[in-house]
């Protein structure tokens, strides 16, 4: 492997370790515990080296966690089923992801970051996830599909947040999921 290729690989690996460390710290202690100093110590580099990887520091690292989280969520939601089964599987995958990765989901949903939503600059992985929602709910035209997808996303987010804070009856999870599917069954 050429030296520049080795350097590029080493940089990618260190980037991944930094992001992985941020996720691990956030999942175990919460986002306030994720600091540049703490990450540099966890990865075994100096703070200036960490800033070479992520010039915006913590904000850039959180933005990377957000984009990676949406990529993972899109992968989880990209199910092979059709019709109501597809929607049911998508709803389940979304809620399962939010439960399995609470700190990552928190960053995706509410962390201040440079990630742009609902615009031309929106990263492709975020647009992919939204297209999966649109495909699952359908609509008479692009505008209706977008509105229905936004409403499904809002509903899923609300349920995820209420669930994360112990505000919902776990015994109603299945019925709640079925009700969401009934509300958003594909049109058009």
Same-domain status, 50 and 89: no
| CATH number of the domain to which 20 belongs | 1.10.10.60
Structure tokens at 45: 């580099």
Q: Mean pLDDT of residues grouped by 10 in the chain (188 residues)?
A: 79 96 97 97 96 96 96 91 83 97 95 85 93 94 96 97 96 96 86
**Listed residues 55, 72, 90: the one ending a domain:** 55
Question: Can you give the pLDDT at residue 80?
Answer: 66
Alpha-carbon Rg for the chain in angstroms: 19
Of the candidates 55, 83, 99, which is a domain's last residue? 55
- Dihedral angle computed from the Cα positions of residues 117, 120, 125 and 129, in that order, rounded to the nearest 10 degrees: 60
Give pTM, 2 decimals.
Answer: 0.90
78 and 93 in a single domain? The answer is: yes
Q: What is the rounded CA–CA span in Å between residue 19 and residue 25?
A: 10
User: 188, 144 in Cβ contact below 8 A?
Assistant: yes
Domain of residue 83, residue span: 59-188
Please check whether residues 37 and 86 belong to one and the same domain.
Answer: no
Judgement on whether residues 64 and 49 belong to the same structural domain of the protein: no
Do 1 and 30 lie in one domain? The reply is yes
Those residues whose C-beta lies under 8 Å from the C-beta of residue 127, and which sit 6 or more positions away, are: none
């Amino acid at each position: 492997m050429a030296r520049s290729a080795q350097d590029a690989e080493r940089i990618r690996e260190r980037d991944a370790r930094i992001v992985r460390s941020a996720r691990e710290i956030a999942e175990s202690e919460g986002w306030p515990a994720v600091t540049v100093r703490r990450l540099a110590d966890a990865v075994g580099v100096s703070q200036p080296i960490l800033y070479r990887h992520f010039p915006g520091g913590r904000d850039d690292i959180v933005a990377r966690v957000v984009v990676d989280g949406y990529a993972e969520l899109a992968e989880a939601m990209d199910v092979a089923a059709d019709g109501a089964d597809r929607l049911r599987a998508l709803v389940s995958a979304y809620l399962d992801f939010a439960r399995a990765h609470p700190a990552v989901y928190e960053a995706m949903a509410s962390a201040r970051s440079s990630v742009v939503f609902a615009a031309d600059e929106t990263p492709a992985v975020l647009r992919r996830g939204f297209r999966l929602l649109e495909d699952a709910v359908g609509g008479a035209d692009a505008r209706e599909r977008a509105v229905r997808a936004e409403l499904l996303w809002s509903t899923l987010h609300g349920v995820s947040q209420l669930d994360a804070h112990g505000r919902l009856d776990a015994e109603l999870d299945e019925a709640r999921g079925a009700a969401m599917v009934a509300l958003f069954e594909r049109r058009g």
